Amino acid sequence: MLELIRQPWHWSTAGILIGLIVPLLLILGNKSFGISANLRHICAACFPADISFFKYDWKKEIWNIFFAVGIILGGFLAVTFLHDPEQVKVAPTLVSDLAQFGIDDYTNQVPNQLFNWHSLLTIKGFLFIVVGGFLVGFGTRYAGGCTSGHAISGLANLQWPSLVATICFMIGGFISSNLIVPFLLKL
């Protein structure tokens, strides 16, 4: 059994379990599944700077911060107790394309050659780590949610604005992954 859990999970297993988080949070306390609002709660808690967008009682949303801390712990538990020694197996076309840019280390789910403390001080690393993160934080709040808030819980509740948001996430991703990421990798 443990062997089975250690192996990479099939998409249908993961999809069913992630989908079940939607009713789980609703039944546990009428909460809608979403992560990116936590970034706003952190702003409201730590540096509201008299900005009206951050002047609300973030403590009422503390459940969401507990949920976020749980995700970090879950990540830790998964690699500590359910570690799979096999490397991530990805499409051969991606492997050969990335190899041209010197990315060939698949020991981690995050490419070690891009995301490390040393590369943070290079232009390439700065763009991937800092600028990428900025776009995620700015974009999700402007869109009013991320993959969990719009693509999963919004679509699950048949909200058409969430469908618009999800389509735009995908368009942005297609442009970025096919045009911008190869450019950045060349730097």
Site residues (CB under 8 A) for other proteins, limited to 126-185:
127-162, 164-178, 180-181, 184
Note whether 101 binds other proteins by CB under 8 A. Answer: no
Residue type at 44? A
- Cα dihedral across residues 181, 109, 78, 118: positive or negative: negative
Tell the smallest beta-carbon distance from residue 123 to other proteins (Å): 14
Dist CA 37 CA 67 (whole Å): 11
Tell the smallest beta-carbon distance from residue 100 to other proteins (Å): 14
Nearest one of 72, 18, 170, 68 to 9, comparing CA atoms = 18
Tell the smallest beta-carbon distance from residue 32 to other proteins (Å): 6
Q: What SS3 class is residue 111?
A: coil
Contact positions with other proteins (CB under 8 A) in 15-44: 15-32, 34-40, 42-43
Query: What's the distance, CA 11 to chain centroid?
Result: 17
Contact positions with other proteins (CB under 8 A) in 40-79: 40, 42-43, 47, 49, 51-57, 59-64, 66-79
